Chains A and B, each alone.
Chain A
């Protein structure tokens, strides 16, 4: 069945280090993936997205990598800052076209940044 999962529930990194958050998905038909950041008391905030016709996309301090062969997604955060501390979710569209409001979310990884 469809599922999106994250490998680690908690990731602790030192301020200034790079962070890598992983995600595995099971629906090979999915063609659009999004990473969200959720801080306490707030809704998920869009970080970066990627379509399945790409294997890498970069934003400001963030990079998303997509490996369709092993159905794996990762989020890399460069020079991690205390403000990056939050729960990170990967999500995929369920029907592969992006033309739906239905996202399937992973369970989330808590990123803790130590000063």
Chain B
């Protein structure tokens, strides 16, 4: 079966712009979580969505937001981009809320210039 699909794979944006990233979970999975990966900070939790509701949020500024649709697909948005937002953004899906059976996508590489 298809894995977690993230689009686009690569993105280049300019400081001050906003960006939307998309994540399609494995079919049947209802929980989606997002992570930011940078060389300096490693993998950091952004937020978790289950049944279209944000269930958990990490320590990121309000410029980072997300949502989940009725088909479990999720998007995350970053407004007023900063150079430090350059990172690999990963989403992971699981059947239900929680970390059991987590499957990660290959990520979206965002570069802010």
A interface residue numbers (CB < 8 A to B): 32, 34, 36, 41-46, 49, 89, 91, 93-94, 98-108
Is B79 positioned at the interface, with any CB of A under 8 Å from its CB? no
Interchain CB contact under 8 A, B104 and A100: no
CB contact under 8 A between A43 and B104, given known A101-B56, A103-B45:
yes
Q: Count how many chain B residues have C-beta atoms less than 8 Å from C-beta atoms of the other chain.
A: 27
Interchain CB contact under 8 A, A41 and B104: no
Interface string of B53-87 (1 = CB under 8 A from A): 00110100000000000000000000000000000
Interchain CB contact under 8 A, A102 and B42: no
Interchain CB contact under 8 A, B42 and A105: yes
A-chain residues with CB within 8 Å of residue B90 when the two chains form the complex: 43-44
CB distance from B102 to the nearest CB of A (A): 6
